[in-house]
Amino acid sequence: MAQAQLPLDTPLSLPEHPKAWKWYDYFTFNVDHKVIGIQYLVTAFIFYLIGGLMAVAMRTELATADSDFLNPNLYNAFMTNHGTIMIFFWVVPAAIGGFGNYLVPLMIGARDMAFPRLNALAFWLNPPAGALLLASFLFGGAQAGWTSYPPLSTITATTAQSMWILAIILVGTSSILGSVNFIVTIWKMKVPSMRWDQLPLFCWAMLATSLLALVSTPVLAAGLILLLFDINFGTSFYKPDAGGNVVIYQHLFWFYSHPAVYLMILPIFGIMSEVIPVHARKPIFGYQAIAYSSLAICCVGLFVWVHHMFTSGTPPWMRMFFTISTLIVAVPTGVKIFSWVATLWGGKIRLNSAMLFAIGLLSMFVLGGLSGVTLGTAPVDIHVHDTYYVVAHFHYVLFGGSVFGLYAGIYHWFPKMTGRLLDERLGILHFVLTFIGTNLTFLPMHELGLKGMPRRVAMYDPQFEPINLICTIGAFVLAFSIIPFLINIIWSWNKGKIAGDNPWGGLSLEWTTSSPPLIENWEVLPVVTKGPYDYGIEQHKGSTDEDEDEEE
C-alpha cells in the first residue's frame, strides 16, 4: 500500500475550499470532474433537443408520400445532422463525458480525474464543434448522411461538408483526450482499499469504452482528413477515375463507426449494472461475467466493421468472417442481458422511474439486438440493405437502448448530482410516453423495411403511407414525452424533495459522500470494506493483502 494509515482520531482537514460550486462556476473553465460531467450532460441534452426537432420535422415530412413540408435539400441536411448530432453530440458525450466524468472518480474514491485540465479542455472542444456543425446550415448543410460516403460527400455542399468534417474531428479529439483521462484514472487512481474485483461495473464499462475510443477514433480522423483533402485540395484518395477508391473510406469510416455503436452502449450497460442491483436490492448476478463481457465486446467489436459493407463488393470470404465475428458480439451482450434478468429474478424490485427505464431498456434492447443479429448475417443484410429495417434496428438499439439508459442514469443519479429527488409521478408519465412513443415510431419500421421502403428519402411510394403515418404519430408522442421530463428536471432542481446522501441505499462509493458531493468529493477518503453490490450480504468474504500488489 502506497499510502500511510493515519490515526483514527485525527480526521484530515482540507485546505480552505468552498463546500459547493456556485451556479456560475458551471459556465467557466472549471477543472472539477463533477462540474465537467454536468456541463457535458446539459450541453448534450441541448443537442438532443435540437436533433430531436430535426427528427420531428423529418417525420412530419414523411407522414405523406409527397415532399410537401421540407424541400429535398433541407430534408437531406436534417437527416445528416440529426444522425450526426444524436451520435456525436448527444449519446457519446452524455454517456462517456457526462456520466463517466461525474461518476468514475466518485465510484473509485478519487478526488478528481487524473488530468483535470485536460478534462476541461476535452469538454470545451464540444460547444465550438457543435456550433460549427450547426453553422453549416448557413451553407446549405451537409447533405451526404451521417456516414458521408464519397463520392456523394465530395460533390454536394462542399463548404458545409468540410465544416461537418472539422466538427467531427473536433469532437473526436475531445473523445480521445477523454479516453486517455479515463484509462489512466481507472487504472491508477482507485482508492487503495479497492480491489479490481470491487471496481463498480460502470467503471469496467468505462474502461472498455475508453480503450475502444482510443483505438478507433483516430482511424476515423485519418479517413476524414483524406476526405477533407479530396474535397478542398484536389486530391483523389476516394476518386475512382483518378486511381482512388471509395471503399477505402468505408473501411476507415466503419473501423470507427461500428465500434462507436459500442461506445454508445457500453457505458449504458454500465449504468444498467448499477441501477438494477440497487433497485432490485440484490447482489448483481455474475459480476465477473459482466465485467469481462465489456472487455470482450471491446475486443470483438474491433473486428466486425465490414458488416456495414456487405453490399460494397465485399468478397464472400470476408462476408463469412465478418458475419461470424458480428454474431460473436451477441454472445457477451447476451451474457449481460441474462445477468441483469437473473439479478431481477426474485429481487425486491422498486418500480421507480430509474428502474422502469432500465427494464424498458432490457425489453427493447433485446428486440434491437435480435434484429441486429439478423442484419449481421450477410444474406439477410443484402436483402434489407438501406431499407427502413436498418433504421428500425438502430433506433431500437440507440433509442430503446442508449437513450433509455441515459434516462435511467439521470433518474438514478440526479439526487446525487443535485441533492434533490426527481418527482416520481412525472417520471412515470415520462416513461410511459417514451415507451409508447418509441415502440409506435420504430416497431412499424421493421415492416416498412421488409416491404422494401428505402431509407434516406423524402418521398416514397404511396403504398407505405399508412405505416408511415403511424411512425409519425409515434414521433410526436416521443417529442411530447420530453415535456414532463423537462418540467421535472427544472422544478425538482429548485424545489424537489431533499434527497439525503443515499436515497436508494446504494453501496458503491459515490453514495458515501454528501449530495451534492463536496468539491473534493470527500473530507476523508472512504475505505472499501465490501463489494459494491453486496446487498443483503452481512460480511464480505474477507480480503487478502496480495490483491493489492498490482497497485504500485
Partner 1 sequence: MQGTVDSQATAIAVDHAHEHPDFRVLGLLVFLISESLMFGGLFAAYLLLRGMNEQWPPEGTEVELLVPTINTIILISSSFVIHYGDVAIKKDDVRGMRQWYWITAAMGAVFLGGQVYEYLTLGYGLRTNVFANCFYVMTGFHGLHVFVGILLILGVIWRSRRPGHYNAHKHTGVAMAEIYWHFVDVIWIILFTLLYILTRF
* Binding residues for partner 1 restricted to 138-177, rule: CB under 8 A: 176-177
Which region holds residue 243: left if phi is over 0, alpha if psi is between -120 and 50, else beta?
left
Radius of gyration of the chain (CA): 23
What's the min distance (Å) between Cβ of 485 and partner 1?
33
Of residues 236 and 374, the one with the C-beta less far from partner 1:
236
Does 111 sit near partner 1 (CB under 8 A)? yes
Of the candidate spans 99-107, 267-275, 287-295, 521-529, the one that interacts with partner 1 by CB under 8 A turns out to be 521-529
Which grid coordinates belong to 319? 462476408
Of residues 169 and 477, the one with the C-beta less far from partner 1:
169
Residue pointed to by grid coordinates 469538454: 123
Does 515 sit near partner 1 (CB under 8 A)? no
Among 370, 483, 498, 527, which residue interacts with partner 1 (rule: CB under 8 A)?
527
Residue 89: how many CA atoms within 13 Å on its side-chain side? 32
Residue 209 CB neighbour total at 10 angstroms: 32
Does 231 sit near partner 1 (CB under 8 A)? no
Residue burial 121-160, b: 16+ Cβ < 10 Å; e: rest: bbbebbeebbebbbebeeebbbbbbbbbbbbbbbebbbeb
Does 181 sit near partner 1 (CB under 8 A)? yes
How far apart CA 137 and CA 74 sit, in angstroms, is 9
Does 540 sit near partner 1 (CB under 8 A)? yes
Which grid coordinates belong to 118? 485536460
Contacts of 193 (CB under 8 A, 6+ apart): 109, 527, 528, 529
Of the candidate spans 183-191, 382-390, 478-486, 490-498, the one that interacts with partner 1 by CB under 8 A turns out to be 183-191
Measured CA distances, 493 to 18, 24, 104, 431, 518 (Å):
21, 15, 23, 19, 17
Amino acid at 120: A
List binders of partner 1 among 468-507 (CB under 8 A). Answer: 507
Does 200 sit near partner 1 (CB under 8 A)? no
Does 188 sit near partner 1 (CB under 8 A)? yes
Residue 548: how many CA atoms within 13 Å on its side-chain side? 11
Residue pair 179/260 in contact by the 8 Å Cβ criterion: no
Of residues 188 and 497, the one with the C-beta less far from partner 1:
188
Does 6 sit near partner 1 (CB under 8 A)? yes
Of the candidate spans 100-108, 153-161, 216-224, 427-435, the one that interacts with partner 1 by CB under 8 A turns out to be 216-224
Among 26, 69, 229, 476, which residue interacts with partner 1 (rule: CB under 8 A)?
229
Of residues 483 and 524, the one with the C-beta less far from partner 1:
524
How far apart CA 51 and CA 81 sit, in angstroms, is 7
List binders of partner 1 among 232-251 (CB under 8 A). Answer: 233-237, 242-245, 248, 251
What's the min distance (Å) between Cβ of 422 and partner 1?
25
Does 318 sit near partner 1 (CB under 8 A)? no
Of residues 545 and 550, the one with the C-beta less far from partner 1:
545
Does 274 sit near partner 1 (CB under 8 A)? no
Which grid coordinates belong to 66? 409527397
What's the min distance (Å) between Cβ of 520 and partner 1?
9
Residue 281 CB neighbour total at 10 angstroms: 14
Q: What is the DSSP letter of 243?
A: T
Of residues 67 and 236, the one with the C-beta less far from partner 1:
236
Does 466 sit near partner 1 (CB under 8 A)? no
How far apart CA 80 and CA 542 sit, in angstroms, is 54
Contacts of 45 (CB under 8 A, 6+ apart): 90, 94
What's the min distance (Å) between Cβ of 495 and partner 1?
29
- Taking alpha carbons only, the member of 393, 391, 423, 413 closest to residue 326 is 393
Does 530 sit near partner 1 (CB under 8 A)? yes
* Count of residues of this chain found to bind partner 1 when the rule CB under 8 A is applied: 72
Residue 439 CB neighbour total at 10 angstroms: 18
Of residues 251 and 385, the one with the C-beta less far from partner 1:
251
Residue pair 223/252 in contact by the 8 Å Cβ criterion: yes
The contact pattern for partner 1, residues 250-269, with x = CB under 8 A and - = no contact, is -xx--x--------------
Does 31 sit near partner 1 (CB under 8 A)? no
Of the candidate spans 97-105, 125-133, 260-268, 538-546, the one that interacts with partner 1 by CB under 8 A turns out to be 538-546
What 3-state DSSP class applies to 423? coil
Does 510 sit near partner 1 (CB under 8 A)? no
Does 184 sit near partner 1 (CB under 8 A)? yes
Of residues 234 and 536, the one with the C-beta less far from partner 1:
234
How far apart CA 233 and CA 542 sit, in angstroms, is 64
List binders of partner 1 among 321-380 (CB under 8 A). Answer: none
What's the min distance (Å) between Cβ of 248 and partner 1?
5
